Amino acid sequence: MRGIAFSVYGSPYQYKKVEAGQSAIVYKYDLPSDYVGFMYDLALSWYPKTYLGWEKDGEMIEQIEHEIGEFKRPKLFDPPYFFEKQMKFTAYNNSKSAQTFRILCDGLLIRKIT
């Protein structure tokens, strides 16, 4: 089976400015209905008094309160995270200033066998 890059159906790099005391979806990747996803690479920014909610297919995976990877060298997950519908990161900014959150979440898509 051959995989195709996340970038074929969306951007693996997404960012958003989140105002103080607010929350916002920073990264959202919706799979085409005829594919499954395998997330291998992750890098994300983080700031004091903030956290990110990481969801896979609508279920919380982790509340993140630290940086992960570097954007030039993302953290490799082996085995990868498997998902069937969506990968999403929501930033919660409890600091006193606006913060720009950046996320690189990359991997491969494989067509479902029917």
Give the residue from 104, 103, 113, 91 showing the smallest Cα distance to 5: 104
Q: What is d(CA 108, CA 63) in angstroms, rounded to the nearest whole number?
A: 24
The 10s digit of each residue's pLDDT in 62-112 is 999 999 999 999 999 999 999 999 999 999 999 999 999 999 999 999 999
Q: Which long-range contacts (CB under 8 A, 24 or more apart) does 60-68 make?
A: 68/42, 68/43, 68/44
11-54 pLDDT tens trace: 999 999 999 999 999 999 999 999 999 999 999 999 999 999 99
Kindly indicate the confidence band of residue 114, based on its pLDDT and cuts at 50, 70 and 90.
confident
| CA pair distance 88, 3, nearest whole angstrom | 21
Other CB atoms within 10 Å distance of the CB of residue 99: 19
Is pTM beyond 0.85? Reply is: yes
- Domains present along the chain, CATH in parentheses: 4-111 (2.60.120)
